[in-house]
Each structure stands twice: as C-alpha cells, then as structure tokens.
Amino acid sequence: QQQVKQSPQSLIVQKGGISIINCAYENTAFDYFPWYQQFPGKGPALLIAIRPDVSEKKEGRFTISFNKSAKQFSLHIMDSQPGDSATYFCAASTGNQGGKLIFGQGTELSVKP
Amino acid sequence: DGGITQSPKYLFRKEGQNVTLSCEQNLNHDAMYWYRQDPGQGLRLIYYSQIVNDFQKGDIAEGYSVSREKKESFPLTVTSAQKNPTAFYLCASTLGGTARNTQYFGPGTRLTVL
C-alpha cells in the first residue's frame, strides 16, 4: 500500500512534442505529490509538486494532472526539449511521517532533436 | 554557497569492509535522509533523522548504520552485513522535517564492491 507505481520506464519523444509520465498509488493518506528531475551522475531536484485539493498545477512547460478518485497523477512536459532529457521520479508522502517520500521507479526521458 | 555535500564521489570497498559515506549540509535544515538508488528501482529510504541525536530506520536499513551528532552532518556507514552494497547513495535534507518542504539532494556517492 506504500508503493507508487510509475510508467513508462523509458520514453523517447521528438523535440517539440509532449512527454507524459504516469504514476499511481494506493495509500489514500498520501497528501503531497512531488516530481523530481535527475540528470546523470547528479542528485534529483524538485521540479513541481501538487496537493490533492487541486486537479492541476502548471509551472512553465511542466504540468501535473491529479485524479484523486483514480489515485493517479501525471507529469506533462509541453514542447519537450533535448535539455529535458533526464530521469523523472514521481513521489508521494503523508504529512505525519517525518518527511518520508515514497518514490516511483523512475522514467528515463530522451528528447530527440 | 549553501547546499549539501557528499564525499567521496566514488568509493570502492572490498568484501568484508565497513565504509562510511559523508553528508554535510549548511542549509540549517532540521531533517536529513539517506537513500539508495538502483537502476529501475527508484530511490529507497535507508535512514532518516528529524533532529540531532535521533534517527529512524527507513525501508531498507539492514546492513547500514547512521549517526546524527551535529545538525549539519549525517554520515552513513555501510557495514559488511549489507550483502549487496553496490549502488548510488544520495543524501537529502529538508527544513522542518515535513514532506511538504522541498527535499534538497546532494550529488551522491557511487559505491562499488570489488
């Protein structure tokens, strides 16, 4: 019940296209859903995050869509660029577990020029 | 520069040896975390600490130990009891110890068992 399942494992998108990464969870106590971006050999960095009281959050070319009833959330990258090529992790947490994040398995995104 | 530093960047261990990975932060963050990253498995929590002199086991604590004697330091020891220690280890910290505050990650240490 603590798992977060992420798909696809890898994704290839043409420059200018839309990249979509999906995550699903079981624990209805999760109340915070961040996405992290990781470049090779580096630590992850927070990209965007959402709470379940909203269905969508947009920051520049990055949008999180959240479906509480389906227990799913997704990251959309509009106008994908080669510089977006990285590994993306979704995560989830509850507010009462000392800041513990449960991460998905990761998606390796490659944007072709 | 404020941030999290991890050392060394690469570490090689022989079978049966204990090794210690360093993590230091100057962000004045309360909580610190250690994760292990393996290909295709995401990040898994090893240990975390919300305050000095206190820490809790994460999901995969067996074969690891930590200490939190200072707010800015959270070293991880990989003991000989950890049967498959080859992995990328990431340290993170956050202000206030709640998940709603951003976790900032260090650059990682890649540990290889020879």
Q: How far is B33 from chain A (nearest CA, A)?
A: 8
Is the Cβ pair B43, A45 closer than 8 Å?
no
- Using 50, 70 and 90 to split pLDDT, how confident is the model at A36? very high
Is the Cβ pair B105, A104 closer than 8 Å?
no
**For position B16, what pLDDT does the model report?**
86
Contact call for residues B63 and B78 (beta carbons, < 8 A): yes
> Is the peptide bond prior to A8 cis by the omega test (within 30 degrees of 0)?
yes
Interface of chain B toward chain A, CB-CB under 8 angstroms: 4, 31, 33, 35, 40-45, 48, 50, 56, 58, 90, 92, 94, 96-108
Tell me the backbone φ, ψ of residue A84, rounded to 5 degrees.
Answer: -85, -10
pLDDT above 90 for A8: yes
pLDDT, greater one: A26 or B114: A26
As a whole number, the mean pLDDT across chain A is 93
**For position A34, what pLDDT does the model report?**
93
- Using 50, 70 and 90 to split pLDDT, how confident is the model at A98? low
Plot region of A16 (φ>0 → left; ψ -120 to 50 → alpha; else → beta)? left
Q: How far is B39 from chain A (nearest CA, A)?
A: 8
Is the Cβ pair B43, A103 closer than 8 Å?
yes
**For position A1, what pLDDT does the model report?**
59
For every one of its 114 residues, what pLDDT tens digit does chain B have, with 9 covering 90 and above?
Answer: 569 999 999 999 888 899 999 999 999 999 999 999 998 778 999 999 999 999 999 999 999 999 999 999 999 999 988 889 999 999 999 887 565 668 899 999 999 988
